[in-house]
Amino acid sequence: MSDKMARLKIDGIEEEIVLPVYSGSTGPVVIDIRKLVNEGVFTYDPGFLSTASCESEITYIDGEAGVLLHRGYPIEQLAEKSNFLETSYLLLNGELPSPEEMNDFENSIRYHTMVDESIHQFLLGFPRTAHPMAMLCGVVSALSAFYHDDLDIEKDDHRLLAAHRVIAKMPTLAAMCYKHGIGQPSMYPLNPLGLAENFLRMMFGTPCEEYKASPILANALDTLFLLHADHEQNASTSTVRLASSSGSNPYACIASGIAALWGPAHGGANEAVLDMLGEIGDESRISEFIGRAKDKHDPFRLMGFGHRVYKNYDPRATVIRGICDEVLDELGVGNDPLFRIAKRLEKIALEDDYFIERKLFPNVDFYSGIILKAIGIPTSMFTVIFAMGRTPGWIAHWHEMLSEPYRIGRPRQLYTGKTHRDYPA
């Protein structure tokens, strides 16, 4: 129960409305407004910026302080000391795994990386020119056709198996989408390889010769996956939760998250950043684009800048910027023109009052694309990489929501349309 209350006095309603106020383990207090509907009143919060849609123990963000915690662990420490699979375990189970638990988890993921052969046929229905996100959305939803009848989402062990399956199969499906687009045969996952190394081999290997991924690039990619693993109630995670609230098949719910992530305002921004840097083309044109970003009559926005929650800096961007330097130096492309433009663009923007006043800083998408391009991943696959990273977060929120009694999500509205009128006689 709550020991704090909020008192709401609404003109025209005689009675003062008293609402409970709850505190979490940290962060803003929340006002429980559920009884308002009985008073014939809704709250109004398009985009839900002031709305806590649920209670969660998975991730905490402090936008002003640039803090991101996964189950209490700072993202900077996880990026330095953990890896993508261990962080996936942490998100899903709430604690870091013991060596035995990690070994069991790795084996479970390892032995669920293959997909049903008929998914290969399914992909053949897509045009080669299909965007990889369109294909990924389709094939992940198609998994619900294979794991449906015997899946009981009310059972904890069934949910954990579904979680392991979708984490394990996402890299395989992602690489299959890429291979379909370039007309090459898909590569089967190899069990001795780690997740990122396996993915790079499925992306760039062919049946014609052995392929060995660079450990440096595999490690950089693993860290990128880790940095994208979860981010509280962002648009795609909220979509997964809302879809899951009707009891839908988890694979279909993850597909709804992929659909929401695709947009350039969300996960599609990493692809849009590279397109933007390419359009800028030369450091001499940066001021022109900064001017466009500030021009209210120009729809152009600086992709990779700004954030709904972070109003100081995105801690993930800081880590990724550091990886950028390492990977580009390792590959001998430290003088990459796009990286040069990105660093110059960041410097100019951060000294410009327009961006300072609006607290617009580089976000997770600003530098990630430069690393992916350096690794050799095509721009059209960037958001697919984001989806692979975000999968453990999506499925952890699905599992958390279904672990407690839940109700179908059903927002209301402020209606401003026509009131009752009769059809002309």
Q: Which of 56, 172, 198, 363 binds ligand SDX (CB under 6 A)?
A: 363
Q: Which of 265, 278, 285, 411 binds ligand SDX (CB under 6 A)?
A: 265
Q: Site map for ligand SDX, 176-215, x if CB under 6 A?
A: ----------------------------------------
- Work out whether 133 is an interface residue with ligand SDX (CB under 6 A): no
Q: What is the DSSP letter of 19?
A: E
Output the smallest distance, CB 15 to ligand SDX, in A.
35
Q: How far apart are CA 174 and CA 199, in angstroms?
A: 8
Please state, as a whole number, how many other Cβ atoms lie within 10 Å of the Cβ of residue 159.
21
Plot region of 42 (φ>0 → left; ψ -120 to 50 → alpha; else → beta): beta
Q: How far apart are CA 170 and CA 301, in angstroms?
A: 31
**Options 25-33, 34-42, 115-123, 266-274: segment touching ligand SDX (CB under 6 A):** 266-274
Q: Is 266 designated active site?
A: yes
Q: Is 70 designated active site?
A: no
Q: Which of 266, 321, 397, 399 binds ligand SDX (CB under 6 A)?
A: 266
Q: Is 120 designated active site?
A: no
Q: Which is nearer to ligand SDX, 56 or 113 (CB)?
A: 56
Output the smallest distance, CB 327 to ligand SDX, in A.
21
Q: In what order do the strands lie in the sheet with 4-8?
A: 4-8, 17-22, 30-31
> CB under 8 Å to 383, separation ≥6 — which residues?
132, 133, 261, 262, 267, 268, 270, 271
Residue from 70, 131, 231, 307 carrying the catalytic annotation: 307
- Work out whether 70 is an interface residue with ligand SDX (CB under 6 A): no
- Work out whether 369 is an interface residue with ligand SDX (CB under 6 A): no
**Residue (of 139, 141, 144, 148) closest to 121 by Cα position:** 139
Q: How far apart are the first and last CA of the chain?
A: 57
Q: Which is nearer to ligand SDX, 205 or 389 (CB)?
A: 389
**Options 94-102, 262-270, 320-328, 374-382: segment touching ligand SDX (CB under 6 A):** 262-270
Residue from 131, 164, 180, 266 carrying the catalytic annotation: 266
- Of residues 287-326, which lie at the interface with ligand SDX (CB under 6 A)? 293, 301-309
Sign of the alpha-carbon dihedral angle for 116, 225, 286, 354? positive
Q: How far apart are CA 99 and CA 190, in angstroms?
A: 22
Q: Which is nearer to ligand SDX, 255 or 303 (CB)?
A: 303
Q: How far apart are CA 158 and CA 164, in angstroms?
A: 10
Site of interaction with ligand SDX (CB under 6 A): 231, 234, 265-267, 269, 293, 301-309, 358, 360, 363-365
Active site residues: 266, 307, 365
